[in-house]
Structures are given as structure tokens and as C-alpha cells.
Amino acid sequence: MSLLQEMFPLLIPIFVLDVILAVAAVRHILWHPHYRFGNRAMWLVLSLVVVMFGPIIYFVFGRGEEK
């Protein structure tokens, strides 16, 4: 238990950054219908289920051209 207490101050900023990325990814998915591949439902599920890496995967591979 003491290891968790020692790492807790490091985990809080990581959690906050993860939530910010997830919110940004969901907002972008809902407002922009252009994707390189896949569809809106696939990217929403991926971004919300794979919490830590889903938004990063979306911004790197799924985000389409802005119009």
C-alpha cells in the first residue's frame, strides 16, 4: 500500500491528462465527420473503451482532413 501512496502524486497528472485527451477526442469525433478510415461509432468506442491509448490512436491515425 505504501508504494501506491508514493506513486499517487505522479498518477494524478497522468489521469488528468488522459481525461483531457479523451474529452478532446470525443468532441472532435462528434463535430467532424471526416475520418481517414472507420466511422464515428468505431472511433467513439475506441476512444472511450481503450481509455489510455484510444484518444492518442484517434489523433494519430483516424483524424481526417479539416474542411
Residues 6+ apart with CB under 8 A from 21: 55, 56, 59
Q: Residue 66: what pLDDT? A: 61
Q: How many domains does the chain have?
A: 1
Domain-embedded: residue 67: no
Q: What is the pLDDT of residues 5-39, one digit of tens each?
A: 888 888 899 889 888 888 888 888 888 877 787 78
Question: What residues make up the domain containing 12?
Answer: 2-62
pTM: 0.72
Q: Between 24 and 56, whose confidence is greater?
A: 24
Residues 6+ apart with CB under 8 A from 30: 40, 44
Rounded Cα distance between 34 and 16, Å, is: 27
Angle formed by the axes of helices 2-31 and 40-49, to 10°?
Answer: 170
Domain-embedded: residue 38: yes
